[in-house]
């Protein structure tokens, strides 16, 4: 279970990252921070591209950074946007790859926690390894 202190810290890291987002086309910045099982935090931002499909979401950047450093288990991820938007479907699927019990904290740029979910709440009946058997 995540304490209020840990949730606040994770949201603050996502909020701090939010200002570094590269969103010249949508003007919709996303900051994210993922908490590994070992307690390390990796942040990420969305990075857009003039060829729209080549951009990447902040949630995936944070997870990919953590994975590239050897982490495979995550406790929670915080997502900060101006209107507390939830992660897109692609990000939900990437989160599900690492566990549908991961907590997803959705906050606004004031750092206020607006909603708390699990990945299973956001992506019920997700596609996974078992489906490939």
| β-strands 74-80, 41-45 pairing | unpaired
Active site residue 116: no
Token pair recorded at residue 110: 């004031």
Of the listed 5, 40, 48, 59, which one is catalytic? 59
Active site residue ranges: 59
């Amino acid at each position: 279970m995540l304490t209020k202190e840990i949730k606040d810290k994770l949201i603050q890291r996502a909020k701090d990252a939010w200002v570094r987002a590269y969103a010249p086309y949508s003007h919709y910045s996303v900051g994210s921070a993922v908490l590994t099982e070992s307690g390390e935090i990796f942040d990420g931002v969305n990075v857009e591209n003039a060829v729209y499909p080549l951009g990447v979401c902040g949630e995936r950047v944070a997870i990919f950074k953590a994975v590239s450093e050897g982490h495979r288990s995550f406790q929670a991820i915080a997502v900060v946007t101006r209107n507390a938007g939830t992660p897109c479907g692609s990000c939900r699927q990437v989160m599900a790859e690492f566990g549908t019990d991961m907590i997803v904290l959705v906050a606004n740029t004031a750092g206020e926690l607006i909603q708390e979910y699990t990945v299973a709440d956001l992506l019920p009946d997700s596609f996974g390894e078992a489906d490939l058997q």
